[in-house]
Structure formats: structure tokens, C-alpha cells
Amino acid sequence: MFSGSIVALVTPFNHSDEVDYDSLKQLVEYHIKSGTSAIVAVGTTGESATLTVEEHVKVVNKVVEFSAGRIPVIAGMGANATHEAVTFSRLLNNSGVAGCLSVTPYYNKPTQEGLYQHYKAIAEVSEVPVILYNVPGRTGVDMLPETIGRLSKLDKIVGVKDATGDTSRVKQFREFCGDDFVLLSGDDATGLEFVKLGGDGVISVTNNIAAAEMATMFSLAAQGKYDQAEIINQQLMPLHTHLFVESSPIPVKWAAHKLGLIAQGDLRLPLTELSASAQPIVEKALKDAGIQ
């Protein structure tokens, strides 16, 4: 259902701290032309935590409008309050999205049973497929493979984005969730290895600025041409690594602006512009990866 190179799309802002819909449209066209498999709109890389509910829904709707059925759109709709995630799910049910991506609740650190009940509540109201998102380095909670296995038995829950970087989990996911459950890496540096071990694709930050290269790499991987895919992966490794030199999406928005993909690289507080000391690091990574 969902596979290949999926972009965790940034949300462009202008200097007035408003969403830049012209740049957003430009980004959608860039990904369609580059062969990106799907777009995640207003995921955590899209600074979902700093958008109002109205902005969140509008950005998702605009990405669907701009894509015009040419590329699947997955809506980010996570929250640390279950009722809020359920509200997002209801609001986005009729938006035309192909699915939704819901990050584990952050800060409040629920138990594994709490995570199960959280996603069960979302699944009960969602009319589109739900992808779980586990990123303990950002949320403070690790949704274990056993819990994901339980959730995989619910009708609407079809996959997981795992950003632990622990590729040994692929085998566990398959054992607990079955062959039809969608396994997506959320870690660019280990994404190709994740697919080699049986995963279906990646939801990627690097894809924001190297979309064609990422699409080609995962197309090759899908054909079993891992040696050719690995050549591209090693070329992109400076980006996989250094786009996290400061908190994401700070570096990738700076790079996207530098490359002319968005009009401005502005972020919303508490995120701030890429520091002067980090800018040469990202610039060198772009050059080393051949993305200029």
C-alpha cells in the first residue's frame, strides 16, 4: 500500500510567520516530477506542533489539492492527547488523503497499554489507513514490537514508521505483524538496510532536497539491485548524517531554501535558523552528496 521513498515534507513559512502556500505548491510539484512515492503532509518534520488546528487541516487540504491525485498524500495527525489525535482524525477523514501517520504521544510517556489504547481510539474513528510512528529519541517513549504486533490486528492500522535506527526490529515486526503489514524506516542513515532486511520503504527527511536520488535508490532496492542502490546511499550519506547536525527540520529547511526549493527557510519558535557554525557543515554535505 505504502512503499518506496516517501517524503516527510517540510512546511514552508514566510518572514511574517505565515504558511507560504506558493512554496508548498512548488514542493509538491518537485516531488511529483522527481518520482517520490508519497508525501507526508504536516508530520513532525512539517512542524506540526507549532501549527494551529486550522492551519494543520488547511495545509493537508492544500497538499491534496496541489497533488490533484498524482501522488498519494498521508496526513500527519499525532498528538500527546488522545482526544486531540482523534479530533484530527475526524477532521481529515474526508480530505482525500490516502492515509494518516500518527506519532506516539510525547512528553507524557504512556505505558505500552496506554499506547495500545491511544491508537485503538484513533483506529476506531479513522476512515483511512493508519500508520503508527515510533521515534523515541524525540518523544521519550518507545513503542515495542510486541505492542505494534497487537495493534496490527486492528482493521485500520496498516503499518509503522520506525525511527529507532534498530534494523533488527524488522524481523520482529514481521514475526509479530505478518507479511502484509507495512514497514517503513524513519531513519535515513539505516533506511536502505531496513529495506534489505524486509522493510517496504522510508519516510525521509533527505528526500526533501534529494528526491530524485532517493526515488531511484528505493526503486533499485525494490528490484533487488542492492549494490546499485548502495552506491546512491553512500553518495547521500553526508545528508543522512548532517541534516541532523541541529534539530530537524532546521538543517533541511536551510538547505531547501539554499537550493531554491522554498522561498524562505523560516521556522516557527522555539526552532530557530541554522546556526552560523552549522551552515558550512550542511553546505559541505550538499556538495559531497552532489546536490547543488
Distances (CA, A) of 77 to 103, 207, 281: 8, 20, 32
- The reply, when asked if residue 45 is annotated as ligand binding, is yes
- Quick one: which of 79, 95, 96 has its CA closest to 87? 79
226-242 and 211-222 helices cross at what angle (nearest 10)? 140
CA distance linking residue 220 with residue 116, whole number of Å: 35
DSSP 269: T
Residue 2 and residue 254 in contact, taking contact as beta carbons nearer than 8 Å: no
Annotated catalytic residue within 119, 133, 156, 258:
133
As given in the structure block, the three cell numbers for residue 198 are: 524486509
> Hey, how many other C-beta atoms are within 10 angstroms of the C-beta on 146?
13
Task: Name residues whose C-beta falls within 8 Å of residue 160's C-beta, 6 or more positions apart in sequence.
Answer: 131, 132, 133, 134, 148, 173, 177, 181, 182, 183, 184
User: Per the residue annotation, which of 30, 116, 119, 161 is the catalytic one?
Assistant: 161
Among this protein's residues, is 161 annotated catalytic? yes
| Residue 133 is a catalytic residue | yes
- Residues with catalytic roles: 133, 161
Q: Which residues are annotated as a binding site for pyruvate?
A: 45, 203
Q: Which residues are annotated as a binding site?
A: 45, 203
